Chain A
Amino acid sequence: MKILVMGAGTMGAYYGARLQQAGEDVVFCARGATLQALQQHGLEIKSINGDLTLPTVVATDDPATHKPYDLILFCVKSYHTDEAARQIAGCLRPGGAVLTLQNGVENEAAIARVIGDDAVMSGNARVFADMPEPARIVHTGMGYIEFGEIDGRISDRAREYEAVFKRAGILGKLVTNIRDLRWEKLMSNSAFNSITTLTGRNLGEIYDDPDGIRMLRVMMEETVAAARAEGANIASDRIEWLLDFVNRNLRESNSSTLQDLRRGRRLEYDAITGAVLRAARRHGIDVPVTESVNALLRLLDPAAAPPP
């Protein structure tokens, strides 16, 4: 299957590498230092699921040069969605899909505005990894994709992608309720990414303070209220389930947003707390803590800081 990885950051590079390893025809779209590193040295993955070196990968800054694709994994930061969506317009084979694995719940609609509703699918990237330098990935946890059609039906193309992901060892699940799961992931991101970023602490350290757990819970409750108002179906025990899961499995982890802050990169808060806030406001729901955290992240964002 011919697959474009749009955005070869941490998760795009990891999934793309596993797909290429499994024999798929993968093209990486990247820019700047990452593009250069991919073209010159390929990809190197240190992984809990086995290390992987790909000395040669196909990398470009223009998706059109290798089109058409059967699948486009859309992995750019959310603040680059509009620009990246315009770049991939016309690059899909008829019947193919753009699968967004980005944070947030607003990218589906943004991509659909450019390439049409029928071409868009949605998924949660469940992977813990870091990119200490361009094209070098350190994979520390999970590493799969749960995905589906936005309207929930099990389509033929979804079945095909399922088989491809399965061969590559990155299949989480093909699901019929991806919208709900996207909100659940957002609930997790809104709490975990924000608090790790604003405090510089990892998840275990936040858990060790009862006030820290309380704040995680408050932020998740605010997201659930917004999600339900948007029509998502979130089971009442999801917050406690997630808090417990993270405590048992991910205490040493922090978040991509904290990694971005430490490297002086732009922060992806708007797709996360910003999205919760916008949904809440549409329905007149009060989310005071999410709103406050979003305001802090706005000013903390290295991209918002005035030149020194």
Chain B
Amino acid sequence: MKILVMGAGAIGAFVGGCLASAGEEVVFCARGENLRALREHGLEIFGVRPLRLETVVATDDPHEFAPYDLILFAVKSYHTAHAGSQIVGCLKDGGAVMTLQNGVENEQRLAELVGRDAVMAGNSRIGAELVSPGRIRHTSNGFVEFGELEGGETERAKALAIVFERAKIFGGIVPNLLSARWEKLIGNAGFNVVAALTGRPLGAILDDPETARLTRTLMTEALTTARAAGARIADDYIDRLLRHGQARLRLNRPSTLQDATRGKPLEFEAISGAVMRTAQRLGVSVPVTVAMYTLLKLFDGGRASAAAGASPTPAAASGN
């Protein structure tokens, strides 16, 4: 199967690497340093499931190798509009664009660009970090659960299941994509946000009763919003998530924390922003999510303007 990995960050590179290693014809679309590293040195995954690909096909123009049976859409959410316009016309008839991004809003944006029938979505259940261009550390899990926007096991979903199974990254076809996507977002709305704002991995956050409580509050606000949006989420979902985090993800540094550490833009719009916007539309009160959204936006904006040289570190200060 011919597959384009749109965005070769930690998740795209891991999934694409596994698929290439299983014999699929994989093209990585990347930019800058990452593109150069992929072309010159291939791809290296180390950690839980090591993998070395001496050569990979990499490009910054998806059209170069089009058309594709499947496009795995794995760019950061704030690049969706741009990357989405790049892949228009790159899909074979009946092919699919599967977003593996954080949040619940990318499906709609992609549908506007490539048509709703072409869009599928998946949850990447993969702990991975891009440690340097072309080099990925795989830290936990390692599979993708996916489905059709309208639900159901279509022929193309079944075909993809076989391909993912061969690559050992198949996590199941989800019958209710809306619920599954919200489940992932509930986790991100707690874990990613608190980790990014405190700079600490999940173990430290969950060991402290106050930050554990904050994490639960954020997840509860997201869950209330999810249900208002029609998602079906089990009553004990948050308990299970927190237990899983405490037991299995103690050293996990969520992607938003990785971005904060590296000075990259933060994906707060797709996470806290998505919960907040949905909640406001449906009349759900999410005061703590709004506060965290505001903090992340201000923090992110400060680094962006500092990087652009617009706003030097303020010299004046207070004794308050």
Contact = CB atoms under 8 A, between A and B. Distances in A.
Interface centre among B194, B288, B316, B319 (most CB of A within 10 A): B319
Q: Is the interface of A mostly helix, strand, loop or mixed?
A: helix
Contact of A252 (B213, B294, B298, B314): B314
A249 to B, nearest CB: 11
Contacts of B301: 201, 205, 209
B302 interface: yes
Contacts of A11: 319
Interface centre among A250, A299, A306 (most CB of B within 10 A): A299
B302 A199 contact: yes
Interface string A274-308: 00000000000000110111111011100001100
Given A256-B319, A295-B214, A300 B197 contact: yes
A295 B298 contact: no
B199 interface: yes
Interface in B114-131: none
A292 B316 contact: no
A169 interface: no
Interface centre among A140, A192, A201, A218 (most CB of B within 10 A): A201
Contacts of A192: 318, 320
B314 A202 contact: yes
Contact of B298 (A141, A193, A195, A291): A195
B198 A253 contact: no
Interface stretch (B82-90, B133-141, B204-212): B204-212
Interface in B277-311: 287-288, 290-295, 297-299, 301-303, 311
A296 B319 contact: no
A299 B211 contact: yes
Contact of B211 (A188, A253, A288, A295): A295
Contact of A199 (B210, B288, B299, B320): B299
Nearest to B286: A288
B176 interface: no
A60 to B, nearest CB: 23
Q: Is the interface of B mostly helix, strand, loop or mixed?
A: helix
Interface residues of A, number: 52
Interface in A82-134: 103, 125, 127-130
A289 B291 contact: yes
B95 to A, nearest CB: 40
Contacts of A211: 290, 293-294, 297
A256 B317 contact: yes
B316 A140 contact: yes
B217 A300 contact: no
A296 B214 contact: yes
A4 to B, nearest CB: 20
A78 interface: no
B184 interface: no
B200 interface: yes
A223 to B, nearest CB: 14
A205 B298 contact: yes
Interface centre among A138, A209, A296 (most CB of B within 10 A): A296
Nearest to A196: B318
A129 B214 contact: no
A205 B302 contact: yes
Contacts of A130: 316-317, 319
A255 interface: yes
Contacts of B317: 128-130, 138, 140, 253-256, 258-259
A277 to B, nearest CB: 9
Given A296-B197, A299-B198, A202 B295 contact: no
Contacts of A185: 320
A306 B201 CA distance: 11
Contacts of B298: 195, 199, 201, 205-206, 209, 212
B201 to A, nearest CB: 10
A298 B320 contact: no
A26 B161 CA distance: 79
A172 interface: no
A1 interface: no
Interface in B188-226: 194, 197-200, 204-205, 208, 210-211, 213-214, 217
A185 B320 CA distance: 8
B318 A296 contact: no
24 contacts: A128-B319, A129-B317, A130-B317, A140-B318, A188-B320, A189-B320, A205-B311, A209-B294, A211-B290, A212-B298, A214-B290, A215-B290, A215-B295, A218-B291, A254-B314, A254-B316, A254-B317, A288-B291, A294-B210, A295-B211, A296-B197, A298-B211, A299-B194, A300-B199
Among all A-B residue pairs, the 8 with the closest Cβ atoms = A199-B298, A299-B198, A295-B210, A202-B314, A130-B317, A252-B316, A253-B318, A295-B214
Interface of B: 194, 197-200, 204-205, 208, 210-211, 213-214, 217, 287-288, 290-295, 297-299, 301-303, 311, 314, 316-320
Given A253-B320, A298-B208, 6 more contacts: A103-B320, A128-B320, A205-B302, A254-B316, A292-B214, A296-B211
